[in-house]
């Protein structure tokens, strides 16, 4: 997200892979699927060693548009399939058609798994009335200032993994006195304390950075 400089993105993916990262998350809306594709190609590793997620933008929702846009995303990514395909945001128009297309893409093998992003309880309950299969994962904004416990419990009860986007919150969270106190006590950075909080809660999370040292620090 917000990575637009191609070389910087490619270098970030390489550093991340070397640091042990295996999941790479992109989206049509980010405008960088082609750069992610180049980065993956440059890694030159077996396809089953990495996990790639992309998301369908609001403008591409609706059955035919979803199918066409995912085929385009795969071309940009230079992949035969993605591991996880998400609906980026819920929109009322095309709500069920979009999901029907997702189920078809999974059946065709163009994605291994299907999920949602930014879906609340009402969206997931509504989806359940017509879906043949439910999302395996729901991506939400989750961090210590937005713990999302009710949604996480709801997802868990419905066998849906919650994955935190923006797991490090916004900049001000790094200055939080409680977090800084814990960080000092453990000899860690504020970011490391926040990610450890996610880990101990059982959240899946996807931290983002373009700085090699921070990428390594986050993995640690």
pLDDT in tens, 56-102: 999 999 999 999 999 999 999 999 999 999 999 999 999 999 999 99
Give the pLDDT confidence score for residue 171 in this predicted structure.
76
So what's the pLDDT on residue 172? 84
Q: Give the model's pLDDT for residue 205.
A: 97
Query: Residue 86 is inside which H or E element, if any?
Result: strand 82-87
- Residues 115-172 have pLDDT tens digits of 999 999 999 999 999 999 999 999 999 999 999 999 999 999 999 999 999 999 977 8
**CA 161, chain centre distance (Å):** 11
Strand order in the sheet with 137-141: 23-25, 51-56, 82-87, 111-117, 137-141, 161-165, 204-205
Q: If you average pLDDT over every residue of the chain, what do you get?
A: 97
pLDDT at 220: 94
Q: Which of 17, 21, 30, 119 is catalytic?
A: 30
d(CA 207, CA 118): 17
- The confidence band for 4, taking pLDDT boundaries of 50, 70 and 90, is confident
21 has catalytic annotation? no
Find, among 128, 51, 49, the residue nearest to 96 by Cα: 128
pLDDT for 117: 98
H/E element holding 214?
helix 212-219
pLDDT tens-digit readout, 194-214: 999 999 999 999 999 999 999
Q: Which residues fall within 8 angstroms of residue 139, CB to CB, at 6 or more apart?
A: 86, 115, 116, 117, 118, 162, 163, 164, 165
SS3 (DSSP) at 154 = helix
**What pLDDT is recorded for position 206?**
96
């Amino acid at each position: 997200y917000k990575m637009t400089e191609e070389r910087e993105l490619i270098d970030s993916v390489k550093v991340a892979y070397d640091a042990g990262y295996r999941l790479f998350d992109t989206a049509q809306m980010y405008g960088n699927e082609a750069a992610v594709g180049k980065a993956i190609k440059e890694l030159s590793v077996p396809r089953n060693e990495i996990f790639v997620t992309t998301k369908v933008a609001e403008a591409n929702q609706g059955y035919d548009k979803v199918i066409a846009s995912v085929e385009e995303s795969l071309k940009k990514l230079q992949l035969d399939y993605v591991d996880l395909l998400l609906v980026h945001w819920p929109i009322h128009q095309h709500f069920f058609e979009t999901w029907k297309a997702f189920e078809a893409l999974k059946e065709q093998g163009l994605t291994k798994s299907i999920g949602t992003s930014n879906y609340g309880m009402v969206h997931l309950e509504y989806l359940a009335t017509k879906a043949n299969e439910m999302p395996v994962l729901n991506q939400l904004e989750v961090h210590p200032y937005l713990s999302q416990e009710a949604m996480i419990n709801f997802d868990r009860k419905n066998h849906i993994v919650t994955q935190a986007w923006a797991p490090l919150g916004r900049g001000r969270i790094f200055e939080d006195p409680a977090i800084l106190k814990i960080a000092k006590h453990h000899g860690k950075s504020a970011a490391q304390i926040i990610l450890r909080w996610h880990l101990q809660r059982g959240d899946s999370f996807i931290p983002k950075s373009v700085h090699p040292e921070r990428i390594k620090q986050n993995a640690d």
